[in-house]
Amino acid sequence: MTNRNTMRLALASVVIALASFASPSYAKDGYLVFSTAAYHFKNQDERNALVPGIGWEFSPTGKVGFHVGTLSDSFGFQATYAGINYGTQRFWNNKARFLVGATVVRKQFHKNTDPEIKIVPFPVLEVKLAKNAVLNLSGSPAVDFADNRTNGVVFFQVKFNLR
């Protein structure tokens, strides 16, 4: 994906976010997402800890939603993603919930390689920080199976509900 297409996706995310105010349900369950950081369990010195990005997430509780966005991946490539999600009921005094789903992502999965498109799981613990701000904690385990070897990682995203 070219830088021009990446910018278009980022702009589309912002337009979707702003247009969603026309629908009360989208505004209530929609979030402007800022990708911020990644912690890699191995080879942290070879990967970027800061992974800035922007996106939009619609994640209603008990219903299917979606997410879309772009971010700088662990190797500096401008990655893009889109997928579906399902938000569980809230727990811990209404301050947390889980999101599960799947994401199609185009990124570099290994250092000095071409970007690939893969479908990856979307496991998230969402924790309320303030009335309209939440923290997403997500990631993937290390994989060592057949020809696939990946590093375990935890991603941090800050989301703002703009209603």
pLDDT for position 32: 92
For residue range 142-156, what is the model confidence (pLDDT) as tens digits? Answer: 666 667 666 778 999
Number of domains in the chain: 1
Q: Which of 113, 118, 41, 37 is nearest to 77 (CA)?
A: 113
pLDDT for position 41: 85
pLDDT for position 4: 65
pTM equals 0.81
Q: Are 128 and 155 spatial neighbours (Cβ–Cβ below 8 Å)?
A: no
pLDDT-based confidence at 111, cuts 50/70/90? confident
DSSP string, 81-103: EEEEEEE---BTTTTEEEEEEEE
Owning domain of residue 14: 3-160
| CATH number, domain containing residue 150 | 2.40.160
pLDDT-based confidence at 5, cuts 50/70/90? low
